[in-house]
Structure 1
């Protein structure tokens, strides 16, 4: 059951968009008419996707998108009557997934939203992989330092120190990283 935030200062456009989104199966449609309300609504209601007009009162759509993306990793589509290089550059920097030009055609909405969801999912997976890799690299650094401590303190060769750490890990049912952390703790 997907939810969507739509924010545009034109009530007629919001109504048209709302009807199309209902047809696309969105169960919850959150509406607002200015950028500040868009940010507040997004942070309190946590929509799955947001569609924001570029030109809105109180806060423009790009600023609202940037504020929303700081806290939530939801895909954001921007509605605009005209695009220039500067607007596209700012939108890219804000993490906007796609543009829909006004007046938008109904057949353009669904593909833009599906691509935005797919891109957001792909980015989430990449972020997760990067975090896993950072953790792996950090663990290897800690294990290498602990191996060095064992080599110095017990006069072991590198393979002997590593085997000793592996045996300790198996005997104590701990990860190699946990054993390395414990060795470094006893050294300091």
Structure 2
């Protein structure tokens, strides 16, 4: 998977040290450490890690709350370390979060495969989100083009293919998207009404 940049947040210095050793030995880089939730959030926002590993119980802001903010803002995937309170946290936030859990004490054998899985899933989700945005834009463009074609067909007594070709030609001549040309046609038509 390669080098992964990680922020660790745990109120226990020994746990942070242990995690740092496991991660460093695996070739990952710890780009920041915090002992409370608020400090961790600041680190995540400034260091932009590939992954955040949080303790469920921290001062100022607990790990579940911080994990929700990090994921909601699309900052990084989250692994939440628990000491057995996993079920309670899951019931509380099951519809709001999708971060992974690991039960303490964390070992190399439990953490490293989980990191690989979390990173792969996060990348898949980001790719799918980008595809959804493209599809929504494509659908929106199609709606505008269809409406603009209808306007051109009505006002200029042209066929559907002629109207489409006119929009396409304007798009190429003006070096703007077909969506922009279609919006301009619609706007001009609405102003002239």
TM-score by length of 2: 0.87
Query: Is the contact made by 1:75 and 1:117 (CA closer than 8 Å) also made in structure 2?
Result: yes
Deviations 1:62-86 (A, max 9, x none): 1111222233431110000114434
**Aligned counterpart, 1:180:** 182
- Count residues with an aligned counterpart: 188
**Aligned counterpart, 2:79:** 77
**Aligned counterpart, 1:107:** 109
**Aligned counterpart, 1:119:** 121
Matched, 1:28 2:30: yes
Matches within 5 A, 1:44-59: 44-59=46-61
Structure 1 outlier segments of 4+, above 6 Å: none
**Aligned counterpart, 1:3:** 5
Structure 1: gaps of 5 or more residues: none
More deviation in 172-181 or 60-69? Answer: 172-181
Query: Is the contact made by 1:62 and 1:90 (CA closer than 8 Å) also made in structure 2?
Result: no
Q: Which whole-Å CA distance do the structure 2 matches of 1:65 and 1:73 have between them?
A: 10
Q: How much is the aligned-residue C-alpha RMSD, in angstroms? A: 2.0
Using the TM superposition, give the Cα deviation of residue 166 of structure 1 relative to its aligned residue in structure 2, in angstroms: 3.2
**Aligned counterpart, 1:63:** 65
| Of 88, 91, 95, the match for 2:90 | 88
More deviation in 40-49 or 121-130? Answer: 40-49
Query: Is the contact made by 2:8 and 2:30 (CA closer than 8 Å) also made in structure 1?
Result: no
Q: Partner of 2:66: helix, strand, or coil? A: helix
Structure 1 residues 105, 171: CA separation in 2 closer, same or farther (over 3 Å shift)? closer
Structure 2: gaps of 5 or more residues: none
More deviation in 70-79 or 118-127? Answer: 70-79
**Aligned counterpart, 1:151:** 153
Q: Partner of 1:114: helix, strand, or coil? A: helix
**Aligned counterpart, 1:131:** 133
